[in-house]
Structure 1
Amino acid sequence: MAAALVIGSPLALADGIVAKQLAGPASEFATMAPIDPIAAAVHSKTALIPVTLDKRGGAFGTSLRLPIEGDDVQVLVFDGQRNWSVQMQDQLGKRADLASRLATETENESYGLAGDEFKAKRYRLQGLEQGQWNLNIQSNSGQPGFVLLSGGGSERLMAYPTSNTAKRLGNVGLVAAMYDEQQEAFAGQVTSAKLRVTDPKGQISEFGMFDDGLHQDGIAGDGIFGADFQAKLGGEYKAQVMMGGINAAGREFMRTTEHLLPVLNDAMRITSLNTVSAKAAGNDRLAFSLQLADAVEGSHYRAYAQVWGRGLDGKSMVPVSWIGGMVDVKNSALDLNFDSRWASYAKAKAPFELRDVRLENPDYFMTVAEAKRLEVVGAQNLMKARPAPVTSITDEMRMGPKPASLATQGKGVGTKLLLVHGYCSGNAWGPVAGQFANSAVFQDFNQNRSHDAFARLIQSFGATWNSFGVVAHSQGGAASLHLYHYYWSGLDNATGARLIQSVGTPYQGTALAGNAAVLGSIFGVGCGTNANLTYSGASSWLAGISNASRAKVYYHTTSFTDRSWVYDYCNIATDVLLSDPEDGTTERAYGQLPGANNLGHKTGWCHTSGMRDPAQVTDSARNSNMNGNAAR
């Protein structure tokens, strides 16, 4: 089975890392709210069909029904390099031949996410009679695999988990619906809908999906289908929604979506029933102490809470600020720090209360424990009178006091520009490092890290210098933003125009993360799954990143050169899944970081080497621009 992402060590064990005491104005409440799951739905124009081979004499084989919907169809066969014999036969039996003979193009392709790649045989089929065909497969091995079908009509499948959080022994639900990309409504008929789930031990189960109003699918007959299953194990589940039917033209279609679904083992809960106590935390700061049960000492969580206070009229409660960040567990409690200047800024006073409190797993950004409302006890006696109201927001109000080691240059000497690679990447920046003055290449090659673990490795590497800026590729951009937002580092001492610059970062996720997870459940190759790079995982992560931190990022996106007279792509195997324009991994639409600085989109550059156009990190003109504007 494929490996899961590597998570980070507890804050208490991390070498020299100090978390920021984050806060922001009440105007950011909406930005920091959990996402609506539908906002991170997966939209699919393809079908990834599981293949199970049966024993047939001295060999193995199977036959699949394959709907041919268009005049130009791509079929990718993932056989684990077992050299399947693939034959196609039309529904009347008039035409049957090897797929390689029917195809106008036959190529060996690599499909996947960065170094986590899967080999496939691609057949381009042009001019076949539309309708149902049989795909007959023979092999000397019983190794299962997949067939990916693309090139159909305008019907699209949309699917998403019904909740942002899943815990062991709880139910995990998904809902799905068909729509027509070219029309207002889907005019066809769904004839089959099922959910295929692979649990963390590799056990496969299938569940019917229903449009009956009983499976979190809205009302009966509304075209939305739902299914759920009990997660008996903690870990990462791989799921496929599989839907087929008849389109408006009377032809069969098939679509699938792929999902990576983390399920938490964490049983920690907040035991503060209705109140939390306030205590002095130095200078203008208070600490609100949450009491916990079943929490692992020294572990850390991403915390968030809204602070509300009494209005100056003494009557109504008014929003004051949000508070949170990465907070560690000490003595079965967790302290949320609050700068009392926020009360003055919001024209409020004690007593306070916390609302919408949530504690999240720091690697999956899924809620572990929550509380709707908690009254803060004891804050009135700790608030200090101010000679004048606070009218502006300072960095210290947003991030807490800077650690003495950073403020006094007690750790690290000099300045540097860090060149940070991405997920499962080799030395992407090494060959072009000479284009960046006073730079150092971050080296954690061919690894799979959560954003949190990745960020803390960057912090540790950068601690050699007193200050540093970042130029990052792919996931390295998200990890660098995560570092700046949650932890103190040399980024906070850097000076220069652009603190964090990135190219090709899927800030809002990539469809390939879900597909690679499903393929990996069979073939178990590469670096393994990374939930932070899925649409839903990336959206949950972004829900905790403030606009003030996003504003420190300057990002670039790229895509292939698009010529009108030829079929263009970066990677033809991933092109069938991604929406144009894209760079072979990151779609421009999902490479956007709202609140950050978009430096534009450039064609003629792909995500990594080995794709049709040059790797985006080798663009000397962009590198020169990033070098000249980089903070250090």
Structure 2
Amino acid sequence: MKSLLALCLLILSASLLVSSSPHLGKFGWKLHFKSNQGAPEEFKAHILPKPSDSAVDSDASAIKVNLEKSNGLFAFEETFLVDAGHIEHATFRLNFLTRIPVEKLNILIKQPSDSEFKKVEQVPIKSWFGMSTLSKIPSFTFEWEKPQNGQWALRIESETEPEKIPRVDIEGAHHPDIVLLLENDSPFKVMSHVQSYTFKQGQPVGLVARLYDERKYIQTLRTLKGLNDEASYDEVFAVTEAGESLPLPEAMIPSDGANGFDFEMDIVFPDGQEKKVKMVDEALARGENSPSGVYTATVKADQPGKYFAEVQLAATGPSREQLTRTTQHMFTVVSEEEDLSVVDGAFGEFDPEDKMVTIHIPLEAKVVTNIVGERLKAYAEVWGGNTPVAFASGMTVVSQQSDKFPGQDSVVLVSLKVHANWITRANIDSQNAEFTLRNVYVQDLSTSVPLASADKIRLNIHKNQRALLQIHSASNAFNGEITEEMKKGPRPVRYSKSQRQLFAGSNNGHKIVLSHGYCAAGIPFSTAKFENFAEFDDPNQNRNNDEFAQLLGAFGEQYDSFSLVAHSQGGIASLHLLAFYWSALDLNEEHGDNHRWIQAMGTPFQGTTLAGWGDTGKIIGVGCGSNDNLTPEGAKLWLTGIPMEARQHVYYYYTEYKPWSWCSLPANAVLSWPNDGTSESKRVPLAGGNKVLMKKGFCHTTDMKYPPQCKDEVNNEFMNKKAARK
């Protein structure tokens, strides 16, 4: 009898699900979109970021090595510059990233005072470089304290033919035998960022770079924050926890005018073509007499796909020391088929039954047939006259318009929803107000690249619809409570609280779901301290945030409800799931400090510099391949679309190496300090989230200098205790 009743309830549930018209996801899970909305106080959090917000910096440079056969040996010889010698307590590190064991190499160095090469006798420090253990490249490092400044020479010899480092993502790309990372402990760093986020085929793409003195920059930030001269690096950069943008450092000016710095942009196109472009001083390019110290270069993005760009700097420092620096960037250019532009004249339709106003935003599409039916992300602020009402955002499916724009067959629509109570709350006269949409933008789903935007367009609402809105406002006086429907839209029946009670216990109960991150071989957490848990396992995969989130949601369907404890990108995917889709994650009965829906460990919510250098970058590119969502550029663009309502459910933890130490020496050469070997501490914070813990003496994953953060049994027990239980 019980099983028959359960069967009848499941059939009823299935019929109700059909009526809610979900969209079928990539992995077969039925997607129920949330209609994200919020108060005007949150508008600032959803402004598209400035390109400089995702700037990276470096005091290192990279050299790709190919050993050539000569006189019975495979050999390589090169000169390079060291400039850390005049800095107190400074060290120069020469990192070798290679599959060739150090024992099979003869490494010789000639310092500026040497007349001939000498064998390097010191014992190398062994480590590895990369974003996951699956794709790691073994490394070894030599160090010189108080090194001699000037030109050094390196000779590498091997008696056997070397194994090359494999390359993914770039067709016909160069496969190096060794990658050298030359790290100078120097305050003189290069900082660079993309010129704009207009990553569209046929448009210019490029980089902006400057050389700066980190000592002066830190002092500027201390003054800005009202900190004393003893304030630590952590304190100085903690400003990012509030989600604020840091000012850019003052650019150094060449002592001998425009000829002192030599900046180049080396860019690899999706088809493997490589091009070098000289970067020019922006001020001089504008015809000004004095240089600005800010350099730029662009190329035409004539191909869709992934681009890998590198800034290469050769410069003369203040003490006449010669220095070299490189930074790395990776971004995706969308095809002409996704080239959209916002058309003025959005229109709204009010449904008194669900109290939602559906806002249809018109877009001009170059190729209508290929864009209709595609899922995108959209955002808009709703205004009544000069009064801000609310924002509306979320997933949207591109639809064909019928009669609103006669004769304009290239116009398609994306739609968002806003609850009528927001209009009531703002005291808007619905019958007479001039409604507009401001800060409108549409983003690509997988990369978050902006496809179209507009500062302001009209929002037309028919007089009959306005009358219904006025009636709603008159009969539904706002009582001050911002309800769940006002923040997320109506719940689908499948995820209603009544459905949860109806099926309680018939669907495997509640679970704490443990999740790994990018390209992981398996669950990284030791499970001894977790109770009533399930393991989400999608090994050795490179997923964008949306794909990852769908898989988590589909996995959770087998339970009445679930909470998440996630590592690295798993924390980002968990937040993406909660922000955009209704799932069993929303069926947790309570939330708060002792009922945490999402707990994230070592998650770089603001991206990681390593994504431009390691697995996902131009220099190596092994393993699972590139992932836009993990770069500083991609992460910032993605985060713009995440509402505070979802962020508040995230509790994040991170770790660092012990003071004056490291987790991965080669990673330390390219990551901002401090870090966990993969995630930089300054890029972990989630504005609107809850910072729980920063613990020293643990690293991102296995085989680093300190134990992996997910094996910390004390913290695992704490996360288990705090996880939502039902």
TM over 0.5: yes
CA distance in 2, matches of 1:114, 1:422: 9
CA distance in 1, matches of 2:624, 2:123: 30
CA distance in 2, matches of 1:32, 1:488: 21
Of 381, 388, 397, the match for 1:328 = 397
CA distance in 2, matches of 1:288, 1:451: 26
Question: Do structure 1's residue 505 and structure 2's residue 603 form an aligned pair?
Answer: yes
Q: Secondary structure at the match of 2:264?
A: strand
Q: Secondary structure at the match of 1:624?
A: helix
Greater shift in the superposed pair: 206-215 or 356-365: 206-215
Q: Tell me by how many angstroms 1:220 deviates.
A: 5.6
1:197-232 deviations in Å (ceiling 9; x for gaps): 112222221111111437699996110011011112
Of 348, 358, 363, the match for 2:446 = 363
Q: Secondary structure at the match of 1:623?
A: helix
1:267-320 deviations in Å (ceiling 9; x for gaps): 34557732122223442112122344325232111100111113xxxxxx3111
CA distance in 2, matches of 1:183, 1:64: 33
Q: Tell me by how many angstroms 1:136 deviates.
A: 3.2
Structure 1 residues 160 and 65 mapped into 2: Cα distance closer, same or farther (>3 Å)? same
Structure 1 residues 45 and 280 mapped into 2: Cα distance closer, same or farther (>3 Å)? same
Give the residue type in structure 2 aligned to 1:393: I
Query: What is aligned with 1:313?
Result: none
Task: Determine if contact 2:379/2:394 at 8 Å carries over to the other structure.
Answer: yes
CA distance in 2, matches of 1:133, 1:513: 29
CA distance in 2, matches of 1:250, 1:198: 32
Task: Determine if contact 1:507/1:591 at 8 Å carries over to the other structure.
Answer: yes
Give the residue type in structure 2 aligned to 1:34: L
Structure 1 residues 298 and 188 mapped into 2: Cα distance closer, same or farther (>3 Å)? same
Task: Determine if contact 1:187/1:247 at 8 Å carries over to the other structure.
Answer: no
CA distance in 1, matches of 2:287, 2:519: 37
Question: Do structure 1's residue 555 and structure 2's residue 573 form an aligned pair?
Answer: no
Query: What is aligned with 1:444?
Result: 538
CA distance in 1, matches of 2:356, 2:675: 46
Of 304, 322, 325, the match for 2:379 = 304
Question: Do structure 1's residue 608 and structure 2's residue 678 form an aligned pair?
Answer: no
Query: What is aligned with 1:535?
Result: 632
Query: What is aligned with 1:15?
Result: 29
CA distance in 2, matches of 1:379, 1:553: 41
Query: What is aligned with 1:5?
Result: none
Of 259, 284, 300, the match for 2:355 = 284
CA distance in 2, matches of 1:209, 1:216: 14
CA distance in 1, matches of 2:123, 2:261: 32
Query: What is aligned with 2:688?
Result: 595
Give the residue type in structure 1 aligned to 2:391: W
Greater shift in the superposed pair: 455-464 or 278-287: 278-287
Query: What is aligned with 1:6?
Result: none
Structure 1 residues 466 and 287 mapped into 2: Cα distance closer, same or farther (>3 Å)? same
Of 417, 420, 425, the match for 2:520 = 425
**After the TM superposition, which residues 452-467 of structure 1 pair with which residues of structure 2 at under 5 Å, given as runs?**
452-467=546-561
Q: Secondary structure at the match of 1:343?
A: helix
Greater shift in the superposed pair: 49-58 or 358-367: 49-58
Structure 1 residues 162 and 136 mapped into 2: Cα distance closer, same or farther (>3 Å)? same
Greater shift in the superposed pair: 576-585 or 319-328: 576-585
CA distance in 1, matches of 2:265, 2:612: 15
Greater shift in the superposed pair: 261-270 or 508-517: 261-270
Question: Do structure 1's residue 514 and structure 2's residue 547 form an aligned pair?
Answer: no
**After the TM superposition, which residues 15-414 of structure 1 pair with which residues of structure 2 at under 5 Å, given as runs?**
15-51=29-65, 62-71=76-85, 72-81=91-100, 85-91=106-112, 94-98=115-119, 100-101=120-121, 104-115=122-133, 116-138=135-157, 140=161, 143-144=175-176, 145-183=178-216, 186=252, 189=255, 190-213=260-283, 221-268=291-338, 273-281=343-351, 282-292=353-363, 293=365, 294=368, 295-310=370-385, 317-331=386-400, 332-350=412-430, 351-382=434-465, 383-385=469-471, 386-390=474-478, 391-407=480-496, 408-409=499-500, 412-414=507-509
CA distance in 1, matches of 2:287, 2:437: 33
Question: Do structure 1's residue 546 and structure 2's residue 650 form an aligned pair?
Answer: no
Give the residue type in structure 2 aligned to 1:114: S
1:339-367 deviations in Å (ceiling 9; x for gaps): 11111112223342212221100111111
Q: Tell me by how many angstroms 1:442 deviates.
A: 0.5
Give the residue type in structure 2 aligned to 1:403: P
Query: What is aligned with 2:675?
Result: 582
Higher helix share: 2
CA distance in 2, matches of 1:256, 1:217: 27
Q: Secondary structure at the match of 1:319?
A: strand
Greater shift in the superposed pair: 188-197 or 496-505: 188-197
Q: Tell me by how many angstroms 1:81 deviates.
A: 3.0
Structure 1 residues 44 and 88 mapped into 2: Cα distance closer, same or farther (>3 Å)? same
Q: Tell me by how many angstroms 1:416 deviates.
A: 1.1
Q: Tell me by how many angstroms 1:119 deviates.
A: 2.6
Gaps of 5+ in 2: 1-22, 86-90, 165-174, 218-249, 401-411
CA distance in 2, matches of 1:216, 1:367: 28
Task: Determine if contact 1:574/1:585 at 8 Å carries over to the other structure.
Answer: yes
Task: Determine if contact 2:340/2:451 at 8 Å carries over to the other structure.
Answer: no
Structure showing greater Rg: 2
Task: Determine if contact 1:172/1:228 at 8 Å carries over to the other structure.
Answer: yes
1:129-153 deviations in Å (ceiling 9; x for gaps): 2211122345656953431101342
Structure 1 residues 462 and 611 mapped into 2: Cα distance closer, same or farther (>3 Å)? same
Q: Secondary structure at the match of 1:540?
A: helix
Higher strand share: 1
Greater shift in the superposed pair: 88-97 or 444-453: 88-97
Q: Tell me by how many angstroms 1:422 deviates.
A: 0.8
CA distance in 2, matches of 1:395, 1:532: 29
Give the residue type in structure 2 aligned to 1:327: T
Greater shift in the superposed pair: 273-282 or 362-371: 273-282
Structure 1 residues 527 and 30 mapped into 2: Cα distance closer, same or farther (>3 Å)? same
Query: What is aligned with 1:314?
Result: none
Query: What is aligned with 2:16?
Result: none
- Provide the TM-score with structure 1 as the length reference: 0.90
Q: Tell me by how many angstroms 1:523 deviates.
A: 4.7
CA distance in 1, matches of 2:462, 2:69: 72
Task: Determine if contact 2:663/2:705 at 8 Å carries over to the other structure.
Answer: yes
Task: Determine if contact 1:270/1:371 at 8 Å carries over to the other structure.
Answer: no
Paired positions, count: 609
Task: Determine if contact 2:429/2:470 at 8 Å carries over to the other structure.
Answer: no
Task: Determine if contact 1:270/1:290 at 8 Å carries over to the other structure.
Answer: no
CA distance in 1, matches of 2:696, 2:332: 35
C-alpha RMSD of the superposition? 2.6
- Provide the TM-score with structure 2 as the length reference: 0.79
Q: Tell me by how many angstroms 1:555 deviates.
A: 0.9
Task: Determine if contact 2:25/2:550 at 8 Å carries over to the other structure.
Answer: no
Give the residue type in structure 1 aligned to 2:277: F
Report % sequence identity: 31
Give the residue type in structure 1 aligned to 2:708: A
Query: What is aligned with 1:3?
Result: none
CA distance in 2, matches of 1:309, 1:68: 61
Give the residue type in structure 1 aligned to 2:49: I
Give the residue type in structure 1 aligned to 2:124: T
Structure 1 residues 338 and 220 mapped into 2: Cα distance closer, same or farther (>3 Å)? farther
Give the residue type in structure 1 aligned to 2:313: M
Q: Secondary structure at the match of 2:625?
A: coil
Task: Determine if contact 2:601/2:653 at 8 Å carries over to the other structure.
Answer: yes
